[in-house]
Structure 1
């Protein structure tokens, strides 16, 4: 009887998809941390800083493309019978966007590298062009899987991608070869190629190999995604702004400290990003079938659950931050201690803004998300500039903290116009979850 209940529990959408997505995110972060632990011991701080800038740019490409396409494809896939046409039209936009990014690299890459005081970055970006075209297939397969509420393929392909990259670095380290930044980009391209093949085998049951794009659907997906895309560009610049500002105003050695802090933050942000992937399709369906009240409940309960995890984890990281830094990067990176502490002070607020914007997108209000992210970006540029000038290398961390506090309140206020949510209500639900945990009461988020 207990076995049947357990099997039924793991067949639940929330449990199964959340576990797979969280394992996927944790796998990515853990392999990323493993790679980082090796790289900081074989590369100079300046090279680590340049690698961090490359990752920021390459991830901006991937995440903004997802912002332009994924939510729109998932939304229209569930609201029309023209499913093959939707996927084909999405693929056209995917290819065009990738070509545009390649053109930007070829014509503006040298100028970007010069501003960031990293001339070698331009060569790395040109090598990455191969990976950009491979990612057309990788992302398209992911959209198809998630449109069918299937997260297994994404888990396997992302894990393989990060795992193979880690193994290539580990093999180079063990063999004693002199690993350089160009080789790291080649390693990335190899790992992307392998993950595309794996993803194909999980996606082929949904494929009919008929390419039938329609101009009207291309416009429809683009018009839906343009605000989410613009928001994605802004939020990704916001996420990497501290490193870009430090590189432009100071030097790449300090970028290496922010890269270390970002990796720790990425690890604790796993529940947020995982639940965002799971929440969006569920929220789209809930808004259509059960109304905005259901969307409000989904948002508040999932965000409260994330906060309950982040608060104790953040406190532990603040207490043991120097020990964690020594394990990850060694004594040479202890100057990152203050940056890590400051980032942990507001870690529990980040998911409030992120989830609020994600829900606004799901209820077809992406233009609101765009405006929020635009305001937050301008505030962050201003605050980072002023605080870096005033406090040096930790100024960017202080600026990000101030802007995150403001951004969480702005995003929640915007969502409250449609779903009557509030930060107070979220924190109250978090307190209830803690209380129920202490009293051994069942948490019923998986029943939502």
Structure 2
């Protein structure tokens, strides 16, 4: 397969996978806020945040290392790597299951609801099944194949979506237990789909090679830290609201965040385009070449985000009521604050991309750790002072502080100007008109 065909095909699969996740996730959210009580919806968000943290951290330890080493290994070493990676996955899954079962009652008291205990105890099945799913996905990606990952991911999203829609249309009473059972079933389906695509490539050695275990863990420790910190910074506010205030406060905050997070679509899409380009340029032209890519890409994103952000801000009352219903009108002022984060989002996302392309992963790691610690600290004090609005203020203040720190780092290493993207953003509209719209009207 030619390189152009490779990028087009797999880029399209990646785009479709992201779009399906947004679509199914949004419809699920649209239904769940209407059929679950405000307290149960908030508890479900806390539950999903907690299990997501465990999953991301667990997968982050082995995923990048496995793909990296498998891609370049000969047949004998491939067997050793797969066995070592699977052993690490199983060990951490067992630890996650054990700790969850032990601390589930404590978490019930922390979030003021005993309902979370049985669903956590039930969900440990997913921790084990997902370790197999992650292993299968790593094997396929190392072969530069993505169809299995795509179909497994979409199957997991689609069948959970079908389950929720079926319950909604048939007036079947959805409970937190039934939702958890649904997650178990769809994870098993996704694992079966991944196995169908990967079964011929599965190889293993009968003996565990501890040298490869050590190598994978040493490589994966930074990915583990980044994965854990990233998912924590994205969900810790909702979990702290559930503990310090109520689960309904977590639900209201989640509604505002979900609407704001729609901005991740253009931001992530641009990051996927910029990363291979930046990696290529830094090899050919050196780190200085990253300055233009960073400033230009953010300018394009801002030209799309700012009008959308203003539109949502002006119509926020109507959007909240349409999307979540009148029970969540308290999310309107939260949305006003969280929308301001859209300005900073492309800066931080592209900063991580540029630092990774320049092989400055340690700096990226420390930035994310600092962000997580600062966010937890601000949430602790501001939620006590301002209630649910405190979580929104904490997110904004933390993001603004980290923006300043990150831009100082980027200025020092690459000479990047934080104001330059706004120049590109203003130039985007006439440039787009002359290159595309005017050209189309002439043809």
Q: Unmatched 5+ residue regions in structure 1?
A: 1-7, 443-448
Q: 1:314 to 1:422 in 2, by over 3 A?
A: same
Cα offset, 1:150, TM superposition: 3.3
Residue correspondence of structure 1 range 298-447 to structure 2 within 5 A: 302-361=297-356, 363-415=358-410, 418-440=413-435
Which has the larger Rg? 2
The more displaced of 383-392 and 115-124 is 383-392
The alpha carbon displacement at 1:65 in A equals: 2.7
Does residue 38 of the first structure (1) align with residue 36 of the second (2)?
no
Query: How does the TM-score come out when normalised to structure 2?
Result: 0.87
Q: Is the partner of 1:117 in helix, strand or coil? A: coil
Which whole-Å CA distance do the structure 1 matches of 2:152 and 2:196 have between them? 10
Aligned-residue offset at 1:286: 6.7
Given the alignment of the two structures, is residue 200 of structure 1 paired with residue 200 of structure 2, yes or no? no
Of residues 47, 58, 68 in structure 2, which corresponds to 1:65? Answer: 58
Q: CA deviation at 1:221?
A: 2.2
SS of the counterpart of 1:439?
helix
TM-score normalized by structure 1? 0.86
**1:252 pairs with one of 217, 225, 247:** 247
Measure the CA separation in 2 of the matches of 1:21 and 1:131: 24
| Paired position in structure 1 for 2:440 | none
> Do residues 241 (structure 1) and 243 (structure 2) align?
no
The separation in 2 between residues aligned to 1:24 and 1:308, in whole angstroms, is 25
Q: Distance in 2 between matches of 1:150 and 1:412?
A: 36
Do the aligned partners of residues 438 and 275 (structure 1) sit closer, same or farther apart at CA in structure 2, a change above 3 Å counting? closer
Kept after mapping to 1: 8 A contact 2:384/2:390: yes
Local SS of the residue matching 1:177: coil
Contact kept in structure 1, 2:70 and 2:139, CA below 8 Å: no
Which one of 112, 118, 125 corresponds to residue 117 of structure 1? Answer: 112
Q: Summarize the alignment of residues 75-94 of structure 1 with structure 2, pairs less than 5 Å apart.
A: 75-78=68-71, 81=74, 82-94=77-89
Contact 1:228 / 1:367 at 8 angstroms: preserved in 2?
no
In structure 2, what is the Cα distance between the partners aligned to 1:403 and 1:263?
19
- Aligned counterpart, 1:445: none
Q: Does 1:49 align with 2:42?
A: yes
| Structure 1: distance between partners of 2:184 and 2:257 | 23
Deviations 1:64-111 (A, max 9, x none): 233323333333345555445434433222222212211220122221
CA distance 1:175–1:393, shift in 2 (3 Å): same
Deviation per CA, 1:369-402: give whole Å up to 9, x if none. Answer: 3321222122212322333233322121111011
- 1:343/1:18 CA distance change after superposition, 3 Å: farther
- SS state at 2:387 partner: helix
Aligned to 1:184: 179
Unpaired segments of 5 or more residues in structure 2? Answer: 438-443
Classify 1:29/1:112 alpha carbon distance in 2 versus 1 (closer, same or farther; 3 Å). same
